[in-house]
Structure 1
Amino acid sequence: MGGLGNSDKASEASLRNPRKKRKQRPPNKLRTKPKSTKKRKSDPTLNTDAQNPINGSESSALEALPLEPFSFFLDEFQTANDVQVSSLELDSMKGRCMLGPPQSSIQDEKTLVKHIKEAFGSSWKEVLCKGKLLEGETAPGSPAVLIISTSAIRAIELLKGFRSLTQECHAVKLFSKHMKIEEQVELLKNRVNIASGTPSRIKKLIDIEALGLSRLAVIVFDIQPDVKGYSLFSLPQVRDEFWDLYKSYLHQRVVEGGLRICLFGPLQPSRKRRKKEVTSPGK
Structure 2
Amino acid sequence: MARERPTKAPKRKKPRGHNATKTLSSRDQIKKKKTRKISNPNFIPLGKNQTLVAEEKKRRKDEKMAEDGGESDALLSTSPAAEQLRFFLHCYQTGTKTKLSPLELDVYSDSCVVELTEGVDQNVDYFSDHVKESFGTSWKEILCEGKLSEGVVNAGSPALLVISTSALRTLELLRGLKPFTRECRPVKLFAKHMKVEEQATLLKGRVNIACGTPSRIKKLIDMEALSLSCLQVVVLDMQKDAKAFSLFTLPQVRTEFWDLYKSHLEQKVLQGDSRICFYGAVSKKEIKKALQPVEH
TM superposition score normalised by structure 1: 0.70
Amino acid in the other structure paired with 2:209: I
Q: Is the partner of 2:236 in helix, strand or coil?
A: strand
Shift of the alpha carbon at 1:74? 1.3
2:103 equivalent to 1:93: no
Shift of the alpha carbon at 1:106? 1.3
Alpha-carbon distance in structure 1 between the residues aligned to 2:185 and 2:74: 39
Shift of the alpha carbon at 1:60? 8.4
2:223 equivalent to 1:208: yes
Q: Is the 8 A contact 1:78 1:84 kept in 2?
A: yes
Q: Which residue of 2 aligns with 1:229?
A: 244
Number of matched pairs: 219
Q: Which residue of 2 aligns with 1:268?
A: 283
The within-5 A match list for 1:179-218 is 179-218=194-233
Q: Which residue of 2 aligns with 1:155?
A: 170
Identical-pair percentage: 53
Q: Which residue of 2 aligns with 1:175?
A: 190
Q: Which residue of 1 aligns with 2:119?
A: 104
2:240 equivalent to 1:241: no
TM superposition score normalised by structure 2: 0.68
For residues 90 and 127 of structure 1, do their structure 2 counterparts lie closer, same or farther at Cα, with a shift above 3 Å needed? same
Alpha-carbon distance in structure 2 between the residues aligned to 1:174 and 1:129: 19
Stretches of 4+ moved more than 4 A in 1?
A: 58-62, 64-67
Q: Which residue of 1 aligns with 2:98?
A: 83
Structure with max Cα Rg: 2
Amino acid in the other structure paired with 2:227: G
Q: Is the partner of 1:213 in helix, strand or coil?
A: coil
Q: Is the partner of 1:267 in helix, strand or coil?
A: strand
Q: Is the 8 A contact 1:144 1:215 kept in 2?
A: yes
Q: Which has the larger share of helix?
A: 1
Amino acid in the other structure paired with 1:142: S
Tell me whether 230-239 or 83-92 shows the greater mean CA deviation: 83-92
Alpha-carbon distance in structure 2 between the residues aligned to 1:97 and 1:170: 27
Task: Flag structure 2 segments of 5+ consecutive residues without an equivalent.
Answer: 1-63, 77-82, 291-296
For residues 144 and 61 of structure 1, do their structure 2 counterparts lie closer, same or farther at Cα, with a shift above 3 Å needed? farther
Amino acid in the other structure paired with 1:91: D
Q: Is the 8 A contact 1:149 1:198 kept in 2?
A: yes
Alpha-carbon distance in structure 2 between the residues aligned to 1:194 and 1:83: 32
Deviations 1:74-129 (A, max 9, x none): 11111111223333443332210010355235111242221221222221111101
Q: CA RMSD, aligned part only?
A: 2.6
Task: Flag structure 1 segments of 5+ consecutive residues without an equivalent.
Answer: 1-57, 277-283
Q: Is the 8 A contact 1:97 1:259 kept in 2?
A: yes
